[in-house]
Structure 1
Amino acid sequence: MTMKVLYGAGPNDIKTYDTQRLRDEFLMEDLFQADKVSFTYTHVDRLIVGGAVPVSSTLSFGSGEDIGTPYLLSAREMGIANLGGTGTITVDGQSFTLENRDVLYLGRGAKDISAQSADGANPARFYMNSVPAGADIPHRLIKRAESKMLTFGDAKRANLRNLRMYIHPEVAPSCLLLLGITDLADGNVWNTMPPHLHERRMEAYCYFDLPDDERVIHIMGRPEETRHLVVKNLDAVLSPAWSIHMGAGTSPYAFVWGMTGENQEYNDVAPVALKELR
């Protein structure tokens, strides 16, 4: 298990960033490596982002050595989305089988965690978000059919999309973590359009189901001074509370969104008019 650390940056800092510096501070690549567990610890609301791809062996993790606690989830909760083939997460002896697009919620206090794939030729790809938690909530597997789907956008504006809530008060409760998956309708390219800010919550995106030679242009920064990241399949992006977050793809794609902050009010946002973008 590896743990990279990102310290975050403020809106005034990124005015001087070149492309590589912006990517170093906000983009997480190589989360999904065969037979490895890779984590990134960010000081942006102390979110941990991770990936695990068990191919030829079972992958075990759960130690809190890197964060100064007995176990990784001694004082944290975690959401795990399976973006690959069928796989199993075992937590303190309790096993959960995740099909593609299923999500597992792990409550505070989990100790020994392991991941394995049903078929190494089509391995599971477990994407993880973990945040500090102040309550004990039972583990829960949320199947795709159990998620709550909402439709946003307009095909005439190329932003029609289906958003599925998984870890959310209306589906499966948590302490502070929210997590879901958004798919664009055929022929649409824009996500999170029109843009907005949510000062009381940060967010992370993980783009997936994107062909290897295609890209998403992820737009971030303050509305009056935007920046962009060119991201590939299975890249993840940090979006601090001060930043907008929207993107357009060169082909169909999906993304996992995870959030944490002061509240779990999905609609606690400040819309940004397109004419205000610079």
Structure 2
Amino acid sequence: MFSETRYSTSPKDIPHFTNERLREEFLIESLFIPDQLQMVYSHIDRMIVGGYLAVEKTGDISDGSAVGTPGFFDAREMGIVNLGGTGTVVVDENTYIVEHRDVVYVGRETKSVRMSSKDPSNPAAFYMNSVPAGYPVPSALIRQADSKPVTMGDEEHANKRTLRMYIHPEVSPSCLLLMGITEPAPGSIWNTEPPHVHERRMEAYVYFNMAPEDRVMHFMGEPSQIRNIVVADRQAVLSPAWSIHMGAGTGPYCFVWGMTGENKAYNDVQPVAVKDLL
């Protein structure tokens, strides 16, 4: 099932990494291959990052042998975000029509998930985050209209953006998974200002709605040793709890953020002033 396995990395190693090594450890370049389920298992809080570009075939997630359980969801939950055209997600007996930027939450003890497209010429692109879960929560469809938007930043600093919460205690519950979508306003390029760390939660991102020629400069690392990864459309980045996150795009873009760890509280975030970055 897994196309790759990624292992945890010490922050002390990062200053010695080449750009190639940094990308090998933290960037996931090929998540959306037509009709192929792509799953990357990360030992950073055991998050699985996946993608399925549904063209002609239906993607199925049910077998748990790769995670050591009879069923994939015996001890896991998942969030599925549609980054493409209209799709269908069937969670056991529940069928959800999933539009662009809608999210499906899949709870622990689910037996199977099947994903397909309405129109192969405009295929659904399903992006997935799956994490261990201690108890079951009912599966749900969270439409973009049902998400909770929060506007941050300002035009003067080119960081005005809207963060939408989907899988979140204020919108739709889960065990430990959090997911949402952030979109910079027209003319703004920076996201997640000021940068921050949260020692009790890791995070994963996938950037999307980018032109082929554009890139996001994704900054990561400890505040005293920041590094950057150049990211293209529909590529994902793993971010350990010790790492900052900050990005700037050469054109319009959005990103899905997914988190898991000790808690789901946002009040333990530790901001880092830009003037203190090195």
TM-score class, shorter-chain normalisation, is over 0.9
Please state how far the C-alpha of 1:94 moved relative to its aligned partner.
2.0
CA contact (8 A) 1:76 1:109 kept: yes
Q: Aligned equivalents of 1:264 and 1:114: distance in 2?
A: 28
Residue aligning to 2:39: 39
Q: Give the equivalent residue in structure 2 for 1:102.
A: 102
Whether contact under 8 Å (1:197, 1:271) holds in the other structure is yes
Matches within 5 A, 1:89-168: 89-168=89-168
1:15 counterpart residue number: 15
Q: Distance in 2 between matches of 1:213 and 1:72?
A: 37
1:206 CA displacement = 0.4
- Counterpart CA distance in 2 for 1:189 and 1:145 is 24
- Alignment partner, residue 202 of structure 1: 202
SS where residue 222 of structure 1 aligns?
Answer: coil
4+ long deviations beyond 6 Å:
none
What amino acid maps onto 1:172 in structure 2? Answer: S
1:2 Cα deviation after fit: 3.7
Preserved contact between residue 3 and residue 66 of structure 1 (Cα < 8 Å): no
> Which whole-Å deviations, capped at 9, do the CAs of 1:54-106 have from their partners, x for residues lacking one?
10121222211111111111101000000000000112232111000100000
1:177 match: 177
What is the rounded CA distance, in whole Å, between the counterparts of 2:62 and 2:221 in structure 1? 34
1:65 corresponds in structure 2 to 65
Secondary structure of the 1:138 match is: coil
Q: Any idea what SS the aligned residue of 1:244 has?
A: coil
Which stretch of structure 1 is more off in the superposition, 105-114 or 165-174?
105-114
1:53 partner SS: strand
- 8 Å contact 2:85–2:123 — kept in the other structure? yes
Distance 1:60 1:196 in 2: 36
Could you tell me how far apart the structure 1 residues matched to 2:135 and 2:150 are?
Answer: 28
Match status 1:193 vs 2:186: no
Structure 1 equivalent of residue 24 of structure 2: 24
SS of equivalent to 1:163: strand
Indicate the SS of the match to 2:23.
Answer: helix
Matches of 1:126 and 1:241, distance apart in 2: 25
Identity %: 57
Structure 1 stretches lacking a partner, 5+ long: none
Q: CA deviation at 1:273?
A: 1.0
Taking the aligned partners of 2:190 and 2:261, their CA distance within structure 1 comes to 25
For 1:61 and 1:255, how far apart are their aligned partners in 2? Answer: 24
Distance 1:118 1:2 in 2: 26
Report the aligned-residue RMSD. Answer: 0.8
Q: Residues 2 and 41 of structure 2 are in contact (CA less than 8 Å); yes or no, is this contact kept in structure 1?
A: no
Q: Distance in 1 between matches of 2:8 and 2:33?
A: 24
TM-score, normalised relative to structure 1: 0.98
Q: How many residues align?
A: 278
Please tell me whether residue 257 in structure 1 is matched to residue 257 in structure 2.
yes
Give the secondary structure class of the aligned counterpart of 1:225.
coil
* Residue 10 of structure 1, CA deviation: 1.1
Q: Check the 8 A contact 2:91/2:139 in 1, yes or no.
A: no
Q: Is the 8 A contact 1:105 1:141 kept in 2?
A: yes
Q: 1:55 corresponds to which letter in structure 2?
A: V
